[in-house]
Amino acid sequence: MCGIIGAVSSSNVLPVLLDGLKRLEYRGYDSSGLAIIDQPGKFLRLRAPGKLVELERTVSANGDIDGLTGIAHTRWATHGPPTEQNAHPHISGDRIALVCNGIVENHEDLRIWLTDEGMEFQSETDTEVIVNLIRLHMDRGTDFMSAIRTSIKSLKGAFALGILHADEPGRIIGVRRGSPLIVGIGEDGIYLASDISAMIAQTRKFIVLENGDIVDINRGGMEITNLDGQVQHRDARISDLTPQSMEIGDYRHYMEKEIFEQGQAVSDTLEGRITASRVLEACFGTEADRIFNRTENIQILACGTSYHAGLVAKYWLEDAGMPCQVEIASEFTSRKHPTPNNCLVITLSQSGETIDTLTALDYAKQCGYAHSLAICNVPDSSLVRNSELVFMTHAGPEIGVASTKAFLTQLVALRLLSIVMARKDPSTAQDEADSIRELRELPANVESTLKMNSTIQEIAQQFADKQHALFLARGIHFPIALEGALKLKEISYVHAEAYAAGELKHGPLALVDRDMPVVSVAPNDTQLDKLKSNIEEVRARGGKLIVFADSETRLSSRENLQVINVASVESSIAPIIFTIPLQLLAYHVALIKGTDIDKPRNLAKSVTVE
Ligand code: AGP
């Protein structure tokens, strides 16, 4: 979603802003803009709808641009379409420029009030009320910083802001309430950004602002205060990211790179978390032992792909004797909950900044849920900082909007958790050493499954002229079918739906004809015979099936049934392995369709609005 980059530097900030915007592209956006103080008392503002290349064109057309202070923004439209007028920065009275990531919930009331007070609006955005509000307070004699504080107090919603005053080159004010914002400390300057990746070419040293923080960046350094002006101390850290770890290398897309990094990602996630025969439960946090001993049931909250990982975990955890509920985070907050005793709330998130998941965690705490565990890929993210226990998936930076390696490593984390939980119930008699052995073999199994790439590339041709697809599976693989359908629709724009195969004859079978490819995953498990019947039901109605099947299932290709063998693995890790062909299928179909694979239309990597 929207991204912010700002800089106060001893040299021209234009290249820093453009590089930062490029690195923020992955978050999802549909217009962009920048404002630079190119001479005291004056902003140069350039904005463009569409991709960043449009802004770059506008920049080139403006000749030499030079300034030591600037802010820039990628906008993911919420209030008002992605036009130049609605793009940020918004400027009021030629004096204040502002960029925002987030939403001002009471913008309508404020706009009416500000209009009555004589303020004029140039855009349809909620953001413009903030910049006009600050100016109104300044027009009435309040200084810049006090005007910002007073304005923030009358705003409802979650947001992060970067603000410039034309008469104060060398100064940027940053505000964090809800949406992420960090400060980078470099040798040549100080930076403000939505995430560390935006400034990684300048510095790896950063400070994460907390909710309610206002940072005053100036040439002399910076000061962080709260809304009441009290100084706040925040520690600086060094990021593990390097510019190289964000490079695409020889791959065509980040998604392709990230799919092929999965063997390493799984291995990195397991490293230091298991011995030859045991999961080290301290990998969930120093308090894990105490909290897990008390835990009587689990509530998982997540969105999108992370939600699918939660659905898989329900099968593992309940198999281990631990009752588990899984809910879409945005739905969890829509009703009252009778608080279960000693319930562990688990949030799953690649980014750790998904507002629906953060809000659901807050709500669970208000409802009295006992403990929280975040399984997350981004250190220092809001979710990590708001949770008692934390398990970091070591997937490395995931840039493609379609989540791949983050999903696989979430599954690894949840598998480890279910092994720990199984210790509570001796009747499940799970052999921990066997489970560990299966996990140790997992990176190699992932690598060998990736070798299916060229076969799947050929199969993808069958989707070249298709608009719809069905995905079918049973049991623990039903969430894998959901994930396969989500991958296909989000990057290739082919309408795909997943069904529990048993549901087929309760409705979706009516959709089956020669134009509706049906994709299924068939592991060698207890559900296989029933799945085979469902496959026959589709064939009998002229449907064309593509089935990824465990090589031990003895399923074979025949008319309208194409079987692609997947190496046989233990059923405990089969969902992890069967995800891979579905990711590759979505990728190759999207390649054929010619879509923008890493930045699919309308989507954002980090969804920071509800
Ligand atoms: C994944 O392919 C999607 N782009 C999306 O569903 C994503 O998983 C969801 O927005 C949740 O994100 P998170 O894991 O960062 O919380």
Poorest-pLDDT segment among 401-410, 420-429, 546-555, 596-605: 420-429
H helix intervals, 367-470: 382-385, 405-422, 432-450, 453-460
3-state class (DSSP) for residue 54: helix
607 located within any domain? no
514 located within any domain? yes
Half-sphere exposure of 358 (CA within 13 A, CB side): 23
Same domain, 241 and 389: no
Q: Of ligand 1's atoms, which has the minimum distance to the CA of residue 304?
A: 6
122 located within any domain? yes
- Ligand 1, atom 6, residue with closest C-alpha: 304
- Ligand 1, atom 10, residue with closest C-alpha: 304
Same domain, 9 and 105: yes
> What per-residue confidence (pLDDT) applies to 323?
96
> What per-residue confidence (pLDDT) applies to 584?
98
Half-sphere exposure of 602 (CA within 13 A, CB side): 5
Ligand 1 lined by 582 (C-beta under 6 Å): no
DSSP 4: E
| Domain boundary, last residue among 246, 267, 295 | 246
Residues 508-518: b if buried by 16+ CB within 10 A, e if exposed? bbebbeeebbb
3-state class (DSSP) for residue 506: helix
> What per-residue confidence (pLDDT) applies to 73?
97
Ligand 1 mean position to 501 CA, how many Å? 25
Residue of 52, 6, 7 lying closest to 26 (CA atoms): 52
Ligand 1 lined by 393 (C-beta under 6 Å): no
| Residue 113, C-beta contacts closer than 8 angstroms, at least 6 positions apart | none
Same domain, 187 and 219: yes
Ligand 1 lined by 404 (C-beta under 6 Å): no
Q: What is the pLDDT of residues 194-228, one digit of tens each?
A: 999 899 999 999 999 999 999 999 988 999 999 99
Q: What is the pLDDT of residues 160-199, one digit of tens each?
A: 999 999 999 999 999 999 889 999 999 999 999 999 989 9
Q: Can you read off the two tokens belonging to residue 286?
A: 């120093």
Same domain, 130 and 196: yes
**CB of 165 closer than 8 Å to CB of 6:** no
Ligand 1 mean position to 401 CA, how many Å? 8
Q: Can you read off the two tokens belonging to residue 149?
A: 């504080």
Q: What is the pLDDT of residues 422-449, one digit of tens each?
A: 998 776 555 888 999 999 999 999 999 9
Q: Can you read off the two tokens belonging to residue 314?
A: 């329900």
| Domain boundary, last residue among 221, 246, 271 | 246
Same domain, 75 and 217: yes
- Ligand 1, atom 8, residue with closest C-alpha: 305
**CA separation, residue 459 to residues 344, 446, 464, 588 (Å):** 43, 20, 10, 9
Q: Of ligand 1's atoms, which has the minimum distance to the CA of residue 305?
A: 8
Same domain, 316 and 413: yes
**CB of 126 closer than 8 Å to CB of 104:** yes
Phi then psi dihedrals of residue 477, to 5 deg:
-90, -5
3-state class (DSSP) for residue 135: helix
Same domain, 160 and 230: yes
Ligand 1 lined by 608 (C-beta under 6 Å): no
Ligand 1 lined by 354 (C-beta under 6 Å): yes
Q: How far apart are CA 10 and CA 209, in angstroms?
A: 23
Same domain, 306 and 395: yes
Q: Is the pLDDT of residue 598 over 90?
A: yes
Residue in 195, 350, 480 to alter for ligand 1 test, most ligand atoms within 8 A of Cβ:
350
Residue of 382, 384, 385, 386 lying closest to 176 (CA atoms): 382
Q: Of ligand 1's atoms, which has the minimum distance to the CA of residue 303?
A: 11
Q: How far apart are CA 533 and CA 191, in angstroms?
A: 60
Q: What is the pLDDT of residues 488-536, one digit of tens each?
A: 999 999 999 999 999 998 998 899 988 899 999 999 999 999 999 999 9
- Ligand 1, atom 7, residue with closest C-alpha: 304
**CA separation, residue 425 to residues 34, 310, 318, 372, 569 (Å):** 58, 21, 11, 21, 25
| Domain boundary, last residue among 425, 449, 473 | 449
**CB of 580 closer than 8 Å to CB of 259:** yes
Ligand 1 mean position to 425 CA, how many Å? 33
609 located within any domain? no
Ligand 1 lined by 361 (C-beta under 6 Å): no
Give rounded-to-5 percent helix, strand, coil for the chain: 40, 25, 35
Q: How far apart are CA 217 and CA 570, in angstroms?
A: 55
- In angstroms and rounded to an integer, the radius of gyration of the C-alpha atoms of the chain is 26
Q: Of ligand 1's atoms, which has the minimum distance to the CA of residue 604?
A: 4
pLDDT range class, residue 240, cuts 50, 70, 90: confident
Q: Is the pLDDT of residue 18 over 90?
A: yes
Residue in 255, 259, 303 to alter for ligand 1 test, most ligand atoms within 8 A of Cβ:
303
Q: Is the pLDDT of residue 78 over 90?
A: no
Ligand 1 lined by 357 (C-beta under 6 Å): yes
Ligand 1 mean position to 600 CA, how many Å? 13
426 located within any domain? yes
> What per-residue confidence (pLDDT) applies to 428?
54
Average pLDDT value for residue range 287-302 = 96
> What per-residue confidence (pLDDT) applies to 354?
93
For tokens 């599954």, name the residue.
411
CA geometry: angle 375, 262, 397, nearest 5 deg? 60
Same domain, 420 and 289: yes
Ligand 1 mean position to 330 CA, how many Å? 13
Q: What is the pLDDT of residues 406-429, one digit of tens each?
A: 999 999 999 999 999 999 877 655
74 located within any domain? yes
**CA separation, residue 538 to residues 405, 545, 553, 591 (Å):** 32, 8, 18, 28
Same domain, 228 and 358: no
Q: Can you read off the two tokens belonging to residue 442?
A: 């997992």
**CB of 179 closer than 8 Å to CB of 604:** no
Q: Can you read off the two tokens belonging to residue 567?
A: 């190496």
Q: What is the DSSP string of 521-544?
A: EE-SSTTHHHHHHHHHHHHTTT--
> What per-residue confidence (pLDDT) applies to 427?
65
Ligand 1 lined by 355 (C-beta under 6 Å): no
Ligand 1 mean position to 166 CA, how many Å? 38
Ligand 1 lined by 359 (C-beta under 6 Å): no
Percentage of the chain lying above the pLDDT 70 cut: 99
* Active centre residues (catalytic): 2, 605
Ligand 1 lined by 349 (C-beta under 6 Å): yes
3-state class (DSSP) for residue 152: helix
DSSP 252: S
CATH classification of the domain holding 345: 3.40.50.10490
**CA separation, residue 414 to residues 45, 47, 310 (Å):** 48, 44, 8
Residue in 76, 259, 346, 354 to alter for ligand 1 test, most ligand atoms within 8 A of Cβ:
354
Q: What is the pLDDT of residues 48-63, one digit of tens each?
A: 999 999 999 999 999 8
Residue of 103, 94, 79 lying closest to 31 (CA atoms): 79
Ligand 1 mean position to 473 CA, how many Å? 22
Same domain, 464 and 575: yes
> What per-residue confidence (pLDDT) applies to 220?
83
> What per-residue confidence (pLDDT) applies to 514?
87
Ligand 1 lined by 351 (C-beta under 6 Å): yes
Q: What is the pLDDT of residues 254-275, one digit of tens each?
A: 999 999 999 999 999 999 999 9
pLDDT range class, residue 380, cuts 50, 70, 90: confident
52 vs 337, more confident: 52
For tokens 């469902």, name the residue.
534
Q: What domain range is 558 assigned to? A: 451-598
Number of domains composing the chain: 3
604 located within any domain? no
Average pLDDT value for residue range 294-309 = 97
**Mean pLDDT score of the chain, rounded to an integer?**
94
Percentage of the chain lying above the pLDDT 90 cut: 85
Q: How far apart are CA 175 and CA 181, in angstroms?
A: 8
606 located within any domain? no
- Ligand 1, atom 4, residue with closest C-alpha: 402
Same domain, 405 and 433: yes
